[in-house]
Amino acid sequence: MKDFKPLVRLIFKLFISIFLLISLVFLGLYVYNSNLSYFVKEKIAAKDWVLKDILIEISEGSVAEDVEYGYRLLTETSKWIGPMAENPEMHFSGNNISCTNCHLKAGTQAGSASWVGVTNRFPQYNGRSNKDISIEDRINGCMERSMNGKKLPKESEEMKAMVAYMEWISEDLPKDREEEFKGYPDLQVPNVDVNLETGKALFTKECMICHGETGQGLLLADGSKGYQYPPLWGDDSYNDGAGMNRVLTAAQFIKGNMPFGQASYNNPKLTDEEAYHLAGYINSFDRPKMENTEEDYPDLKKKPVSTSYGPWEDSFSAEQHKYGPFPPIINYYKEKYDINKTK
């Protein structure tokens, strides 16, 4: 019997080792597997992610109060915080257009500087003020310029509601879809100056039916909710300090979004050059003036080339900054400062 003891011990050790080994293999498999299913789940989430439909969710009662208020403010801006608001203390925006006349489909339309994912990109460097700005500052940029109004207090219920809405439409946005919703389509900048005759002919053919012969637009039947077709120039439009007043920015917007219902980000109707002449045409008319625009872009090198108001870091004429041709100005900044300008 004595002689068997070492053998038994050996067999016992062998068993324990095999048991441990098998457990290890199973543990490994388990970890691998759960990671794999985690990975697969992520992939499915990215593929299945869809834009929310706020009206459906409101009817189902699943939208938080602040988000819904934000939605109302952004889509019926004048009624709540503009000239049509009953309480004069609430007159922050200065015209009767809505934020979503430019940020289409309640800010969810790709190619119209959509707000899907926007809150993740702030704070962000801003050339116009030459410092990092918050999402609230950026909203106020549009309040003072696109809406020709004044700033909303950052702590106001209205500002918080707008941001809450933007966060809500961005929920669970997969990383690889962020780019799709950001900004405007690229534009091949034509190496010609804007031809106002060409712009006018295109306007008559493609735009006038909705925006009107004098660009005045058309109020909705319930006028307190703003415009059905927003005005493109004149007293009730964006002011001259707005991004849309830059020919290259407006051309990008028009290319990706107009004529409404016919053009989209992936499928523009107009050529880059047509959008460009149209942008020059709508911006050739009078519109409200922004004060203190000479203080914009403290570092003048950062000023977009199609900013129509001075001063500039270069010696190109005011006329050329308004109507182009822009490639010579773009080349100047590339060669002198190694800055790549697109607008």
Kindly list the residues in this chain that would bind ligand HEC in the complex (CB under 6 A): 74, 77, 97, 99-104, 113, 115, 118, 121, 138-139, 142-143, 146-147, 162, 182-184, 206-207, 209-211, 229-230, 232, 237-238, 242-244, 249-250, 253-254, 258-261, 278, 282
Shortest gap between Cβ of 183 and ligand HEC (angstroms)?
4
Q: CB of 308: closest distance to ligand HEC in angstroms?
A: 14
Q: At closest approach, how far in Å is the CB of 157 from ligand HEC? A: 15
Closest CB to ligand HEC among residues 262, 331: 262
Select 194 or 282, whichever has its Cβ closest to ligand HEC. Answer: 282
Q: Which residue number, 23 or 124, has a Cβ lying nearer to ligand HEC?
A: 124
Which lies closer to ligand HEC via its Cβ, residue 67 or residue 118? 118
Q: Dihedral through CA 83, CA 223, CA 287, CA 275, nearest 10?
A: 140
Q: Give whichever of 232 and 329 is closer to ligand HEC, judged by the CB atom.
A: 232
CB of residue 39 vs ligand HEC: minimum separation in angstroms?
30
Closer residue to ligand HEC (CB): 52 or 274: 274
Give the Å distances, CA to CA, from 8 to 1, 2, 19, 115: 11, 11, 16, 72
CA 232 – CA 278 distance, rounded (Å): 11
Among candidate residues 230, 239, 208, 224, the one with its CA nearest the CA of residue 143 = 239
Nearer to ligand HEC, 250 or 305 (CB): 250
d(CA 126, CA 141): 10
Smallest gap from Cβ 203 to ligand HEC, in A, equals 6
User: Closest distance between ligand HEC and the C-beta of residue 171, in Å?
Assistant: 16
Q: How many whole angstroms separate alpha carbon 194 and alpha carbon 327?
A: 13
> Is the Cβ of residue 31 or residue 302 nearer to ligand HEC in the bound state?
302
**Shortest distance in whole angstroms from residue 295 CB to ligand HEC:** 19
Q: How far is the CB of 318 from ligand HEC (least distance, A)?
A: 21
Contacts of 171 (CB under 8 A, 6+ apart): 52
CA distances for 206 relative to 158, 194, 210, angstroms: 36, 17, 9
Distances (CA, A) of 156 to 90, 128, 159, 160: 11, 24, 5, 6
CB closer to ligand HEC out of 61 and 134 = 134
Find tokens 């918050």 and name the residue.
134
Q: Shortest approach of ligand HEC to residue 302 CB, angstroms?
A: 14
